[in-house]
C-alpha cells in the first residue's frame, strides 16, 4: 500500500508546505493552513484544455487560425452585459454571493431561458433535492422539457451524467458540496474544491460546454476556498446586495472574454429576478430634494453611466475621538476628504462625527465620486442644501484640486436625460467633446470653487 504523504495548503492563496505554520508566508494570513493527505506516487494536478492531449506541438502564433466565437445569449440583457456579450462556449464561470441573495434563483432563470431556446441544460444541485428544486422552478414559472435536474454530490456521477446527457449548458450548485472519492478530505476542503474544479474545467474545455459553478463566500465577502479557484476559472461574478433592499447587483471581477468592470442590476420579486433597465431612475426616485448633505454623482460601471445619491450627516461629537463611518464607499476616503476640507477650505471638522452613505445599497470604488462626497460633507456641516438638479463629478487631490475623470461625456449625457440642469465637473475635462444642449456644464479647478458654485461660498 502506498505511503500517505501529508502536506499543508493555505486555503486563501494555495501555498503548499510540508509542515504546518501559523502564518502563511505568501499571503501573510493567520491560521489558514489545512492538512492535505495524498497518496505517494499520485498524479499531479493537470489542467487539460480542449486540444491538450500530451502530443501537442508548439505553433507559430502567426500561423494559428482564429474565428469569431458565437456567444450564447440569454433573455436577460444584464447577464449578457456582465459576461461581455453572452456565454462563451467552453467557459467556466464562478458566481459567488451571500447565502439567500439569489444565486440559485438567477441561475435557474438563466437555465430556463436557455432551455426554452432549445438548448439542453443540466442543473446539478448538491444542496437541494429534486423536489425542492421543482418547488422553486414552479414559483419561477420554469416549464421547459430541455431542463434536466440532478441531485448529486459525487463528481464521478456528475461527470457520467454529463457524458450521457451531453448538455449544452451545465450549472453546479455549489462547488463546496461536490467531492471526489479518491480525495480523502471532506467536501468543501481545499483539495476537494481544487480537484472538482479541475475536473469541471477539463469537461468544459474538452466538450465546449459552458459550466457555471456556485461558490460560497466567507464573512469577509470573498469566495470561500483557495484563491487558486478564482485563478482556474474564466470568469468570476459576485452577486451582491443589501438583504433589506430588493435590488441585486451582478458584478464582474474577472472575465477573460470581456470587461471586468461591468455590472448588472436586478430587482427581486416574488416570481423571481427582474431586470432594472434604468438603474439611475430607480436609485434617485426616493431622493428628498432640498436636503442638506445630499448630492448626486454620475459613476461609470463598466460601459454604463449610473447616477446615484450620496448622503452625508455631520454632527458634533460627544466623544474624544470623532467617528468616521462610510457605507457603500471606502471608509478611508471620508477622513481624507474631511482633512482636505479642513486644511484647504477652512471648515472646522475635527470635532464633528461624519456619516457618509451611498443610497440604494450600491458600492462605489472609483475616484470620480470624491467631489460629490466632499460637497455632501460641507453641505451637511453648513446646513446648506445644494440645488436638487446639480450633478457633481471629479476626483479631489490632497491639495484641494479637482482632477479630470474618464468618460465625462457619457456621464453628463445620462444626467441630461434625467433632467439635471447643471453639471459641476473638472475644468480640464471641458475640452474635446460636445455638451448636451439642455444642461449647463461648469468647470472648477478646486473644491473651494465647487463649494462656491453649489452652496454659494465656503
103 assigned ligand-binding residue:
yes
What local confidence, expressed as pLDDT, does residue 43 receive? 45
Comparison of pLDDT for 96 and 170, the residue scoring more: 170
Q: Cell 448529486, residue?
A: 152
Q: For residues 112-147, b (16+ Cβ closer than 10 Å) or e, as one string?
A: bbbbbeebbbbbbbbebeeeebeeebeebebebebb
Q: Is the pLDDT of residue 48 over 50?
A: no
pLDDT band at 458 (very low <50, low <70, confident <90, very high): very low
What local confidence, expressed as pLDDT, does residue 37 receive? 67
Q: Is the pLDDT of residue 45 over 60?
A: no
Q: Which architecture, in CATH terms, is 74-277?
A: 3-Layer(aba) Sandwich (3.40)
DSSP element (H, E) containing 265: strand 263-269
Q: Domain-by-domain residue ranges, the chain?
A: 4-39, 74-277, 282-455
178 assigned ligand-binding residue:
no
Distance CA 148, CA 160 (A): 14
What local confidence, expressed as pLDDT, does residue 332 receive? 93
pLDDT band at 220 (very low <50, low <70, confident <90, very high): low
Closest CA to 272 of 296, 246, 293, 291: 246
102 assigned ligand-binding residue:
yes
Q: Do 74-277 and 282-455 come out as alike in CATH topology?
A: no
pLDDT band at 54 (very low <50, low <70, confident <90, very high): low
Overall average pLDDT of the 140-162 stretch: 93
- Tell me what the pLDDT averaged over the chain comes to: 87
Q: Is the pLDDT of residue 348 over 70?
A: yes
Dihedral (C-alpha) 277, 279, 283, 286: value to the nearest 10 degrees? -20
Longest Cα–Cα distance of the chain, Å, equals: 83
Q: Cell 430541455, residue?
A: 146
The β-bridge partners of 124 are: 150, 172
75 assigned ligand-binding residue:
no
What local confidence, expressed as pLDDT, does residue 46 receive? 43
Q: For residues 14-25, b (16+ Cβ closer than 10 Å) or e, as one string?
A: bbeeeeeeeebe
Q: Is the pLDDT of residue 311 over 90?
A: yes
- What does DSSP assign to residue 368? G
Give the cell for residue 115: 432551455
- Provide the sign of the torsion angle of the four alpha carbons 340, 343, 344, 345, taken in this order: positive
Overall average pLDDT of the 172-197 stretch: 87
DSSP string, 34-62: EEEEEETTPPPP----TT-SS------GG
Contact 239, 278 (CB under 8 A): no
367 assigned ligand-binding residue:
no
pTM of the full structure: 0.75
CATH topology of domain 282-455: Ribosomal Protein S5; domain 2 (3.30.230)
Give the cell for residue 87: 456565454
Contact 368, 302 (CB under 8 A): no
Share of the chain above pLDDT 70, in %: 91
Query: Tell me: the pLDDT tens digits for 235-281?
Result: 999 998 766 678 888 989 899 988 887 888 898 888 899 998 888 88
98 assigned ligand-binding residue:
yes
Q: Is the pLDDT of residue 50 over 50?
A: no
Query: Tell me: the pLDDT tens digits for 376-415?
Result: 999 999 999 999 999 999 999 999 999 999 999 999 999 9
What local confidence, expressed as pLDDT, does residue 276 receive? 87
Q: What contacts 205, CB < 8 A, 6 or more positions away?
A: 48, 49, 50, 90, 92
Query: Tell me: the pLDDT tens digits for 94-140?
Result: 998 888 889 999 999 999 999 999 999 999 999 899 999 999 999 99
For residue 210, the tally of other CB atoms under 10 A from its CB is 25
Amino acid at each position: 500500500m502506498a505511503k500517505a504523504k501529508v502536506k499543508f495548503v493555505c486555503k486563501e492563496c494555495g501555498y503548499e508546505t510540508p509542515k504546518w505554520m501559523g502564518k502563511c508566508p505568501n499571503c501573510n494570513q493567520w491560521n489558514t493552513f489545512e492538512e492535505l493527505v495524498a497518496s505517494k506516487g499520485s498524479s499531479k494536478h493537470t489542467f487539460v484544455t480542449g486540444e491538450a492531449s500530451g502530443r501537442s506541438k508548439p505553433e507559430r502564433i502567426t500561423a494559428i487560425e482564429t474565428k469569431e466565437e458565437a456567444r450564447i445569449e440569454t433573455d436577460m440583457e444584464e447577464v449578457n452585459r456582465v459576461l461581455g456579450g453572452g456565454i462563451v462556449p467552453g467557459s467556466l464561470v464562478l458566481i459567488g454571493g451571500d447565502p439567500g441573495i439569489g444565486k440559485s434563483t438567477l441561475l435557474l432563470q438563466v437555465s430556463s431561458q436557455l432551455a426554452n431556446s432549445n438548448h439542453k441544460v443540466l442543473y446539478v444541485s448538491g444542496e437541494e433535492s429534486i423536489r425542492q428544486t421543482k418547488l422553486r422552478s414552479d414559483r419561477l414559472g420554469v416549464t421547459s422539457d430541455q431542463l434536466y435536474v440532478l441531485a448529486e454530490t459525487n463528481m464521478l456521477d456528475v461527470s457520467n451524467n454529463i457524458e450521457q446527457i451531453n448538455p449544452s449548458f451545465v450549472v453546479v450548485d455549489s462547488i463546496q458540496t461536490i467531492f471526489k472519492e479518491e480525495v480523502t478530505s471532506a467536501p468543501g476542503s481545499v483539495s476537494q474544491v481544487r480537484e472538482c474544479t479541475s475536473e469541471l474545467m477539463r469537461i468544459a474545455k474538452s466538450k465546449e460546454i459552458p459550466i457555471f459553478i456556485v461558490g460560497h463566500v466567507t464573512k469577509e465577502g470573498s469566495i470561500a476556498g483557495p484563491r487558486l479557484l478564482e485563478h482556474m476559472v474564466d470568469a468570476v461574478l459576485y452577486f451582491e446586495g443589501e438583504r433589506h433592499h430588493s435590488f441585486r447587483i451582478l458584478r464582474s471581477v474577472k472575465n477573460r472574454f470581456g470587461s471586468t468592470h461591468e455590472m448588472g442590476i436586478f430587482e427581486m420579486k416574488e416570481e423571481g429576478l427582474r431586470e432594472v433597465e434604468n438603474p439611475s431612475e430607480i436609485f434617485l426616485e426616493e431622493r428628498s430634494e432640498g436636503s442638506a448633505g445630499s448630492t448626486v454623482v454620475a459613476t461609470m460601471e463598466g460601459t454604463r453611466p449610473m447616477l446615484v445619491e450620496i448622503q452625508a450627516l455631520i454632527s458634533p461629537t460627544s466623544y474624544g475621538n470623532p467617528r468616521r463611518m462610510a457605507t457603500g464607499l471606502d471608509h478611508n476616503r471620508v477622513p481624507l476628504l474631511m482633512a482636505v476640507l479642513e486644511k484647504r477650505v477652512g471648515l472646522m471638522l475635527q470635532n464633528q462625527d461624519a456619516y457618509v452613505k451611498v443610497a440604494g445599497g450600491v458600492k462605489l470604488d472609483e475616484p470620480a465620486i470624491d467631489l460629490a462626497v466632499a460637497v455632501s460633507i460641507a453641505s451637511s456641516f453648513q446646513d446648506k442644501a445644494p440645488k436638487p438638479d446639480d450633478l457633481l463629478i471629479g476626483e479631489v487631490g490632497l491639495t484641494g484640486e479637482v482632477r479630470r475623470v474618464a468618460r465625462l461625456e457619457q456621464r453628463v449625457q445620462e444626467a441630461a436625460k434625467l433632467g439635471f440642469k447643471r453639471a459641476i465637473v473638472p475644468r480640464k475635462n471641458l475640452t474635446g467633446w460636445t455638451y448636451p444642449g439642455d444642461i449647463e456644464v461648469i468647470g472648477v479647478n478646486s473644491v473651494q470653487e465647487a463649494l462656491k458654485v453649489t452652496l454659494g461660498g465656503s
